[in-house]
Structure 1
Amino acid sequence: MSAARLASASAATAHQRQWFADLHQEVAAGGDLALVNADAPQEIFRAMGIPYVVNQWWSSIVTAKRRAQDYLGLLRERGYPDDSEQYSSIPLASAFDPDPANAPWGGLPRPTIVLAETTGDASRKIFDIWDTQPGVSFYPLESAAENDVPARWWELMPRDWERAVGSDRLDLMTGELEGLIRFLEQTTGRVFSETRFAEVMDLVNEQQEWNRRTRDLIARARPCPLPVNDSIPSVMIPQWHRGTTWARDAARAFHDEVAERVSTGAAVCSEERARLMWIGRGLWFDLDFYRRFEQSHGAVFVWSMYLAIAADGYLRYGGDPLRALAARFAAFSDQLYTPPWSAEWYVKEARHHGVDGVVHLVSEDARGSYFTTRALEAAGIPVLELHADNVDARSADGDALTRTVGDWLDRRVRAGD
């Protein structure tokens, strides 16, 4: 049985469109809007009722609608780099759009607040420029590190997060979050409620438990019951609404739909012969790429970081809720990009899903990519590195990428067939 498009993916996208349309009206009426990075503590905004747009989500929409080059051109016209941190800088170009009404989804409403962790010089400069825009205030968060790296951090994080992250890092981020709350109260006039915040944190944990169950279902399923580019909206749109009953219920609906597919034997590719893992951000300028090797090679992408990090990276139980939130984000980038945190996790996930090979997208701003590839190869898992930017189609030719992956499948993954 061939797997049709997920109903949960269609429902999530429809919800996001309506939410964004409502957001336009709210901002037009004078409401506040925050623009926040994907790895920022959005739960505080949720608890305070401050609407927010995720920076990288907006980049994905612009890119999927084939407008990334237009926006990068707006940066270039103003003397800003158009070839650095494109994933984070495309939304900045929205502030310079002369015709925002004709932008994708009606354009990005101008935020009043921007929030980001200052990872790297280029990232900080992007948000410093936001801070110079009329009516926009930037609140930066530090990017701290810890010398002691926990083994098998994914087992510690849900309940032993103090030991996993480190008390010094948690002290720093908890203090910063307290400052963020004061800043938001002064800026918006809204009041932070500890009771409401605890409810948000509980809902987030419930949501991620469903994501964990879904991840494990897909890891065990043979053949793979859904295409990876369908799973991305099913998991990530609810992630951007973390702390709501809708997001919790959407994650459960996603799980139930996957479970039904597994039980009925639905398959992305009925002749599945190779299971692949995609490491890196979504290839937003060519989402059809992930399905391109099913007929030619029986190769199916069964893994992306989006569902996996939802399963392993977010659960936090016990302790003070604000400190638990600090524990969710103080080491978030480490989990995805900093060895040995990231490298060991990718190997664990590759084995968990029984993959035959890994396609690793390496951008110009890659962090720890060398160590990730080395760890997977040392574990006996073939890796192909694709050097391209996930939102900038100038960085790679789609046909060339397809040929490269096809040749690699023939040489290293299915050579013995």
Structure 2
Amino acid sequence: MNEVKQSSAAPISEERSKSKAVKKLKATAAASAHQKEWFSELKKRVSDGEEFGYLNADVPMEILCAMDIPFVVNQWWAAICGAKRMTKKYFGLLRDANYRDDLCSYCATAFAESLDPDDHKFDAEGHPLGPWGGLPDPTIAITRLTCDCQSKIFELFAKNHNADFYVMENTIARKTPLNWYELAPDHWEELYDKDRLDLAVEDLKRLIAFLEWKTGKQFDINKLEHVMNLINRQEGYYKKIRDLIAACHPVPVTVVDTINAVMQAQWQRGTQWAADHAESLYYEIKELADKGEAAVPNEKYRLMWIGRGIWHDFSFYQNFEKKYGAVFMWSMYLAMGADAYIRNHVADDPLRALAARYIGMEDFLHMPPWNSSWYVQQAKQNDIDGVVYMVPGNCMQAVEGSYFIKKALEEAGFPVLIFQADPVDPRKWNADTMTDLVDKFIEQQVIPSAEKRKAKQ
């Protein structure tokens, strides 16, 4: 497979360790500012006695949104901890507590944080020691049975916070339409097995009953319909953004802006703020595109990033712009929003529409040929010159059939660099080594492939 396992032996240069990604969009800055304001309000609600949920990303958060139950998404919080460079300390605490040192970082970060006695304390100057003052104590922890170790990590996390632990079912597809992204918005009854949808609806009803018992709040199907419609509006703008960027030569924005702007709003989907933010993001990017502005003025090569974001080193994506004119312009965060979330005809049956949204998410992301066929389609739509594919070495889900993804892309004519790294744990990342690796990939594979393709045209 020619997979590269990254070495962390060499020290990161002082210049590289201090570098930061340059984010240009107002919408990206607005999203970051809103997140801090929202998190502060959430902490106040929790301190005032409200129930507080901690959810894995594939849990149908729309139910909690419709019931006005405050929650935080596990992957978002892991990204925050990684961006604040707290994970080195947290995983040291895991090791000190005699847990394995190679637990999946996305799932285990919050659990590791729960071992930190300083998490909610302040230094002598009044600065919080934990990221954004630390995660408030959840009273509910919810995950799905999509991974053998994930549920156990969530169970331990819930125990440390004295929270109720709730697990949802996961089912496996018996049919795999390769054009799932065309069927998902309107034809989910064709996309999924009927009994799989039926079971997911019943699972949602059990979740609702549990949340009503736990919080004392009542579920309202009309509020869920409103939430679902807001999400359709939000994801509709992401689709317009994704398609606009794909059609632009050169591109007006890079993944440094789009990942941050999209992911932060995605974990608050169903709110008026998230829908409005997606709209503002679209019009800001459209204005740049209409003016013909280029994120990388010397753009020559368009790169696709497959995998989770390198949250502790976002500047990495910009290391290849000046030297090669190589721009990372595609990520799953925006593209998944465009293709995986929209569910029309919500009024017919909001619960079934929601079931049709969340039960396939693991298939779309982690299961060939669902994911591999989509990546190829996206690479073609975006005129990609090369694919850089990060596979976390400690997450079984995120291995996601990497051999088959690489094979499908290369057979379609796209050069692929695949390597192991960690999205939130900087102990397993060497920026200099990885920059050199991508440099060689661009020089030895991307540029020759692009020149050969141009010669045929």
For Structure 1 versus Structure 2, the TM-score category normalised by the shorter chain is: over 0.9
CA 1:4–1:60: 2 relative to 1, 3 Å: closer
Match of 1:269 in 2: 296
CA contact (8 A) 2:85 2:426 kept: no
Distance, in Å, in 2 between the alignment partners of 1:172 and 1:85 is: 28
CA RMSD of superposed structures (Å): 1.3
Match of 1:158 in 2: 185
User: Which residue type is aligned with residue 401 of structure 2?
Assistant: G
Structure 2 counterpart SS, 1:121: coil
Distance, in Å, in 2 between the alignment partners of 1:68 and 1:151 is: 38
Q: Percent identity?
A: 45
Distance, in Å, in 1 between the alignment partners of 2:199 and 2:154 is: 21
Output one character per residue of 1:225-263: Cα deviation in whole Å (capped at 9) or x when no partner. 112111112111111111111111100000000100101
Q: Give the paired residue count.
A: 415
Shift in Å at residue 396 of structure 1? 3.1
Structure 1 counterpart SS, 2:149: helix
Match of 1:85 in 2: 104
CA 1:75–1:4: 2 relative to 1, 3 Å: closer
Match of 1:362 in 2: 391
Shift in Å at residue 134 of structure 1? 4.9
Distance, in Å, in 2 between the alignment partners of 1:296 and 1:41 is: 43
User: Which residue type is aligned with residue 95 of structure 1?
Assistant: S
Match of 2:7 in 1: none
Residue 173 in 1 paired to residue 206 in 2?
no
User: Which residue type is aligned with residue 215 of structure 2?
Assistant: T
Match of 1:314 in 2: 341
User: Which residue type is aligned with residue 391 of structure 2?
Assistant: V
- Between 123-132 and 205-214, the greater mean CA deviation after superposition: 123-132
CA contact (8 A) 1:314 1:328 kept: yes
Output one character per residue of 1:71-112: Cα deviation in whole Å (capped at 9) or x when no partner. 112222222223121111101122222112210101011111
Match of 2:415 in 1: 382
Distance, in Å, in 2 between the alignment partners of 1:117 and 1:368 is: 20
Structure 1 counterpart SS, 2:422: coil
- Between 276-285 and 158-167, the greater mean CA deviation after superposition: 158-167
Match of 1:410 in 2: 443
Match of 1:147 in 2: 174
User: Which residue type is aligned with residue 254 of structure 2?
Assistant: P
Residue 246 in 1 paired to residue 279 in 2?
no
CA contact (8 A) 1:165 1:330 kept: no
CA 1:127–1:140: 2 relative to 1, 3 Å: same
Distance, in Å, in 1 between the alignment partners of 2:254 and 2:343 is: 29
Instruction: State which of 10, 30, 51 in structure 2 corresponds to 1:11.
Output: 30
Distance, in Å, in 2 between the alignment partners of 1:368 and 1:168 is: 26
CA 1:172–1:79: 2 relative to 1, 3 Å: farther
Residue 323 in 1 paired to residue 323 in 2?
no
Instruction: State which of 185, 189, 210 in structure 2 corresponds to 1:183.
Output: 210
Match of 1:35 in 2: 54
- Between 352-361 and 387-396, the greater mean CA deviation after superposition: 387-396
Instruction: State which of 22, 45, 48 in structure 1 corresponds to 2:41.
Output: 22
Residue 232 in 1 paired to residue 259 in 2?
yes
Match of 1:45 in 2: 64
CA contact (8 A) 1:229 1:290 kept: yes
User: Which residue type is aligned with residue 189 of structure 1?
Assistant: G
Distance, in Å, in 1 between the alignment partners of 2:325 and 2:276 is: 34
Distance, in Å, in 2 between the alignment partners of 1:278 and 1:11 is: 24
Distance, in Å, in 2 between the alignment partners of 1:378 and 1:337 is: 20
Distance, in Å, in 1 between the alignment partners of 2:315 and 2:23 is: 15
Distance, in Å, in 1 between the alignment partners of 2:221 and 2:411 is: 47
CA contact (8 A) 2:105 2:425 kept: yes
CA contact (8 A) 2:67 2:218 kept: yes
CA contact (8 A) 1:386 1:401 kept: no
> Displaced runs of 4+ in structure 1, greater than 3 A?
none
Output one character per residue of 1:277-320: Cα deviation in whole Å (capped at 9) or x when no partner. 00000011210011000011110001000000000000112241
Output one character per residue of 1:130-164: Cα deviation in whole Å (capped at 9) or x when no partner. 24235301111122111211130100000101211
- Between 149-158 and 122-131, the greater mean CA deviation after superposition: 122-131
Distance, in Å, in 1 between the alignment partners of 2:94 and 2:176 is: 38
Structure 2 counterpart SS, 1:248: helix
Structure 2 counterpart SS, 1:277: strand
Shift in Å at residue 393 of structure 1? 2.1
CA contact (8 A) 1:86 1:392 kept: yes
1:101-140 equivalent positions in 2, closer than 5 A: 101=120, 102-140=129-167
TM-score normalised by L of structure 2: 0.89
